[in-house]
Amino acid sequence: MKRIEILKKSFAIFAIVALSLTMNIFTNNVDAALVAMSISPLSATTVEEGGSLNFTITYTGDVNYISLEKTSFGFTGFNAGISIKESGNNRIVTVSNIRSDGSGRENRIYVTGGTASSKTGNLANYGHTQAFTIKASKPADTVAPVATITGPNPSSIYAGQTVTYIINYSDDIGIEAINLSANSIKLVGFTANIGISGSGNSRIVTLSNVQGSVSSNNYIMVVGGTAIDAAGNLCNSVTGNKFSIIENKKPDDNEPDKKPDENKPDDKPQDKPQDKPNNNNNNVTNNNVTNNNVTNNNVTNNYYNSKPSDWVENPNTGK
């Protein structure tokens, strides 16, 4: 009897140990055979109409095969395109061109179950992202920045001097960047050193040591695309007004030319022939007057002295 009881106790102990080992083996096999899928938070919880979102799907456990495809996804509340990029047991998902479907339902992305399997054929769970909001998009910016040019200053120079132009940029929303350089500027009719300065939306183009032939057909051209806005629109090209290069003064031209004064007499007054006294003429005149007087007197005397013998004096005149 004692022997039988000992055997019963030994069998019971063996059964308990065997059951314990069996349970451990079963549990380990179950854990090793599982595969799990998890979904990261979205890259944003609000997206503009037509925008994009990203998230990452991670597979853990006994991952034997991943079969995630575009058809594994479902959308509620919106329509979109989708792309998948592999990275080990991770999948980076991009949902693009998101647009509300007008249903008013919560915007979510769903991933079906079974997108991965273990060696024993166990399948991954299903899941979904958090909800997100779609807001109206801003109108597309199709208006390009505008470039304008003023100058030249001055409009007329001697060779070797300096001319400046000013270029101003404007945009209906705002200028993103200005990329004006010496290579953006073409010189027409002359050569010069090009300098660019200024800040904000204005730039000063300084042309120093201007060289060229005497001409009034000198100007600059600025290529298009020297300013850009946030939407990528590029500004127009501009052409400056013309300036003149004039002939330098000669060394003996420091004083202004003296023109003859037409109102000024050619000779001094005392040197003019008509202003000189004519003694001969005066003498002749005086002589003539004297002679005439003498002659007249002589004639009169001779007339009265040569009365006829029968002359009778006029009682009224006495002659």
Query: Could you tell me whether strands 238-239 and 185-188 are parallel, antiparallel, or unpaired per DSSP bridges?
Result: unpaired
- Whole-angstrom distance, CA of residue 76 vs CA of residue 134: 12
Query: Could you tell me whether strands 46-48 and 133-135 are parallel, antiparallel, or unpaired per DSSP bridges?
Result: parallel
Residue-level pLDDT at 197 = 97
Residue-level pLDDT at 100 = 96
Residue-level pLDDT at 220 = 98
Q: Which of 175, 169, 167 is nearest to 141 (CA)?
A: 175
Residue-level pLDDT at 184 = 98
Asked whether the bond before 154 is cis by omega within 30 degrees of 0, the reply is yes
Q: Which of 75, 69, 126 is nearest to 93 (CA)?
A: 69
Which residue carries 């399948």 as its tokens? 123
- Whole-angstrom distance, CA of residue 193 vs CA of residue 182: 9
Which string of DSSP letters, residue by residue, matches 178-217? E---GGGEEEES-EEEEEEE--TTEEEEEEEEEE--SEEE
- Quick one: how many helices (H) and strands (E) in the chain? 2, 22
DSSP 161: -
Residues in the chain where the model's pLDDT stays below 70: 1-32, 250-319
- Whole-angstrom distance, CA of residue 173 vs CA of residue 138: 12
Count how many Cα atoms sit within 13 Å of the Cα of residue 116 in the half-sphere of its side chain.
25
Q: Read off the pTM.
A: 0.46
- Whole-angstrom distance, CA of residue 285 vs CA of residue 138: 115
Q: Which of 232, 86, 92, 246 is nearest to 155 (CA)?
A: 246
User: DSSP 3-state assignment of 91?
Assistant: strand
Residue-level pLDDT at 107 = 98
For residues 202, 208, 210 and 216, what is the CA-based torsion angle, rounded to 10 degrees?
30
